[in-house]
């Protein structure tokens, strides 16, 4: 049985005829009769009987019709609860992000959503391989993810909202001889030791592109995913690395230089399941993330002043 069938039974008990029920529910009498037949299939005793030309409820039918009042009341309460949940401005919203994305966006979100009635944020860091970001949307309302510019688009199972299309620059010690150059080529850096991410993570394909453009295999000295640690290792002379221009935290002993001859750029997107943004609180956080992206992008001017120059074409 379902809600509509129970309502038909209840209306029949109150209005006294199939025709009257059909008029009240704005359907045909045959549609009402079909709903009654479907309901009867799930009940072991007769619910209706003939009284002359009229179809009336049996004692069992009347008992079920009375119970239908409670069912409709409970469903109405449930719908009201859902409506309140969906429209709740200060509802809980879970946000996950890769490490450098979390460092860039989480503080901005917290500052923007501090006032009364703001969503209650639950923040999580998730350092996963590129292909695993869409799966995180099962567990979090919003997932800040990144992929290389030339990588396949996110699967249709997740909706993507673009935040940044971020250049990837070469990070090297501020006192390195190459720091004097405004731009670098793959040949400039191919002979240096490199720090890069683990297999399967974004950025690695760009490292391979640098190797291909230089015509020689790069010396991968260190495998480190956390960008703040990478910056420390670069500053200490442990090698050079590819680092995002805007989301990586600036280091006083590290400079960023654009890399010519390689398509070095990544997408930073928010992934979510479509039904999640039906909630007002989630929409508020998504809007705040888009606003925060503008702040992150403008904050990258410091790196450009050090010699990063205009964005790669």
Residue 156: the pLDDT is 86
- CA dist., res. 247 & res. 298, Å (int): 11
Whole-angstrom Cα distance, residue 100 to residue 106?
10
Asked whether residue 188 falls in the same domain as residue 83, the answer is no
Same domain, 76 and 99: no
Residue 300: band (very low, low, confident or very high) from pLDDT cuts 50, 70, 90: low
Q: Which of 49, 65, 87 is the last residue of a domain?
A: 87
H-type helices in the chain, by residue range?
Answer: 3-15, 18-25, 29-41, 59-87, 99-112, 186-189, 204-214, 227-235, 280-299, 301-303
Instruction: List the one residue out of 133, 108, 150 whose CA is nearest residue 298.
Output: 108
Same domain, 40 and 142: no
Task: State whether 267 and 140 are in the same domain.
Answer: yes
**Domain of residue 238, CATH code:** 3.40.190.290
* Percent residues over pLDDT 90 in the chain: 64
Same domain, 138 and 230: yes
Final residue before a domain boundary, out of 59, 87, 115 = 87
Place of tokens 């045909």: 28
What is the percentage of the chain residues whose pLDDT exceeds 70?
95
Closest-CA residue to 118 (of 307, 272, 282): 282
3-class DSSP state for residue 56? strand
Cα 75–chain centre separation: 30
* Residue 27 placed within a domain: yes
Average pLDDT over residues 102-123: 94
190-228 per-position pLDDT tens digit: 999 999 998 888 788 888 889 999 999 999 999 999 999
Same structural domain for residues 142 and 30?
no
Cα atoms in the Cβ-side hemisphere of radius 13 Å centred on 167: 21
At 308, give phi and psi (nearest 5°).
-70, -30
Question: 271: closest CA among 89, 91, 85, 98?
Answer: 98
Q: Are residues 99 and 63 in the same domain?
A: no
- Specify whether 18 is located in the same domain as 147: no
**Under a CB-based contact definition with an 8 Å cutoff, are residues 303 and 246 in contact?**
yes
Q: Are 186 and 304 in the same domain?
A: yes
CATH code of 19's domain: 1.10.10.10
pLDDT, the chain, mean: 89
Do 150 and 25 share a structural domain? no
Contact 23, 10 (CB under 8 A): no
56-72 confidence digits (pLDDT tens) = 999 999 999 889 888 88
216 with 189: CB under 8 angstroms?
no
Angle, in degrees to the nearest 10, between helices 99-112 and 280-299: 110
């Amino acid at each position: 049985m379902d809600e509509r069938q129970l309502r038909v039974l209840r209306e029949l008990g109150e209005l006294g005829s199939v025709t009257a029920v059909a008029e009240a529910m704005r359907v045909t009498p045959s549609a009402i009769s079909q709903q009654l037949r479907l309901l009867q299939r799930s009940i072991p005793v007769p619910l209706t009987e003939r009284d002359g030309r009229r179809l009336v409820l049996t004692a069992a039918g009347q008992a079920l019709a009375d119970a239908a009042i409670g069912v409709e009341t409970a469903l109405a309460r449930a719908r009201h609860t859902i409506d309140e949940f969906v429209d709740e401005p200060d509802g809980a919203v879970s946000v996950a992000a890769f490490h450098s994305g979390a460092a860039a966006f989480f503080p901005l979100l917290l500052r923007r959503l501090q006032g009364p009635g703001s969503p209650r944020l639950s923040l999580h860091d998730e350092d996963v391989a590129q292909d695993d970001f869409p799966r995180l949307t099962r567990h979090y309302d919003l997932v800040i993810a990144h992929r290389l510019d030339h990588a396949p688009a996110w699967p249709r199972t997740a909706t993507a909202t673009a935040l940044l299309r971020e250049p990837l620059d070469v990070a090297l010690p501020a006192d390195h001889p190459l720091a004097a150059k405004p731009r670098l080529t793959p040949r400039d850096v191919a002979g240096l030791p490199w720090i890069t991410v683990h297999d399967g993570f974004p950025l690695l394909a760009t490292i391979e592109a640098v190797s291909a453009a230089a015509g020689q295999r790069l010396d991968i000295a260190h495998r480190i995913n956390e960008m703040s640690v990478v910056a420390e290792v670069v500053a200490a002379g442990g090698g050079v690395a590819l680092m995002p221009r805007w989301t990586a935290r600036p280091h006083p002993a590290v400079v960023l230089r654009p890399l010519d001859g390689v398509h070095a750029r990544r997408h930073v997107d928010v992934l979510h399941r479509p039904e999640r943004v039906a909630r007002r609180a989630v929409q508020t956080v998504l809007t705040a993330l888009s606003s925060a992206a503008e702040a992150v992008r403008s904050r990258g001017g410091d790196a450009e002043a050090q010699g990063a120059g205009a964005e790669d074409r």
